[in-house]
Amino acid sequence: MQIIVFTLGDKYYALDTHNVKEISVNMDSSYIPKAPNWVEGLLNLRGNVIPLINLFKLLDLDGRLCYNNVIIVEFNQDDMGLMVSDVIKVVDISEEDIQDSSIILLDGKIINLLDIERLISEK
């Protein structure tokens, strides 16, 4: 299994790369009235309009996110951008590396493995 490790503030998170299409730098977005608070806006990605998701708000984390990267993922055959502070690395792990509650210990850091599909579906 291959994961992409990133930060939200000072905490480490990861996503399975099977749905990741690309990593981009911070992009401007357009506001969407009456959207959930975790939908930051819309991005124009090479002519395709996609939602920009603020993971900080989606995960109900306190504080404000300073983000430098956008991870573009495919979800239900549509693309979306995920705001993250910084992308750290892409790494291969085995299923045995994943502990209870989707926790990974990597390079001395505790990393939460996120299931974006489940998170979005629950919201």
Domains of the chain: 2-122 (2.40.50.180)
Say whether pTM exceeds 0.85: yes
Tens-binned pLDDT, residue by residue, of the chain (123 aa)? 999 999 998 899 999 999 899 999 888 899 999 999 899 999 998 889 999 999 988 988 876 768 899 999 998 888 999 999 999 999 999 989 999 889 999 989 999 999 988 888 887
Closest CA to 83 of 24, 36, 37, 35: 24
Of 10, 120, 117, the closest CA to residue 61 belongs to: 10
Assigned token pair, 27 = 């992009």
User: Closest Cα partner for 67 from 20, 27, 109?
Assistant: 27
